[in-house]
Amino acid sequence: MGGPEIEHLIGLLAKLPGLGPRSARRVALRLLQQPEARMLPLATALQDAARATRSCSLCGNLDSHDPCTICADPERDAALVCVVETVGDLWALERAGGYRGRYHVLGGTLSALGGTGPEDLNLAPLFRRLEQGGVSEVILALSATVDGATTAHFLADRLAGSGVAVTRLAQGVPIGGALDVLDDGTLAAAVRARRPA
């Protein structure tokens, strides 16, 4: 169907998250129908982004600058460091707004089953930053999973006695959420995390 170039394109698109072979064919067709308007600008954008993007040596964020735009922003509170698993989590928190500190991207979680140990995570730059001083609080924004909890315990242990406050995200009732549709674990966590009204 359409020759090897088109098959290759569809094969690459089908590997992207959220696209299977069927949607990859649809995307390829849409691009091919407007090569000048859609396809070549996309090709240029892909090439530019691939060449320009690097991992921030301070926090692990992806940016065209190192240190990244967030680390270099003097308006952001350097005393707060929010630890996340992935750059996607960092982006989610930025989209949500309301946080004006800095970040640290671990690149995953500890996992006994997956064989991920502390040496596999981006930990050294975090500990270096904490040793340099000036950080008063580390916020653990990790998944509410067994591996996320293991990683949170590990970090809380490592930071105990360092003088840095270690906090984690609250768990509870989502905005706009009705109680009777929540799963039992979330509802129980919300009761435990209750606060003065």
Nearest distance, CB of residue 56 and Zn ion, angstroms:
3
Say whether residue 68 binds Zn ion (CB under 5 A). Answer: yes
CB 189 within 8 A of CB 171: yes
Helix (H, G, I), strand (E, B) or coil at 105: strand
Give yes or no for a cis peptide into 67 (omega within 30° of 0): yes
Q: What is the distance between the alpha carbons of residues 121 and 5, in angstroms, rounded to a whole number?
A: 38
Binding span for Zn ion by CB under 5 A among 53-61, 83-91, 135-143, 170-178:
53-61
Say whether residue 58 binds Zn ion (CB under 5 A). Answer: yes
Binding span for Zn ion by CB under 5 A among 62-70, 78-86, 139-147, 170-178:
62-70
Nearest distance, CB of residue 93 and Zn ion, angstroms:
14
Q: Which two tokens stand for residue 178?
A: 């009705």
Binding span for Zn ion by CB under 5 A among 48-56, 81-89, 117-125, 129-137:
48-56
Among positions 56, 141, 152, 155, the unique one binding Zn ion when judged by CB under 5 A: 56
Q: Say which residues have a Cβ less than 8 Å from residue 110's Cβ, sequence separation at least 6.
A: 116, 117, 118, 121, 147, 150, 151, 154
Say whether residue 71 binds Zn ion (CB under 5 A). Answer: yes
Residues lying near Zn ion in the complex (CB under 5 A) are found at 56, 58-59, 61, 67-68, 71
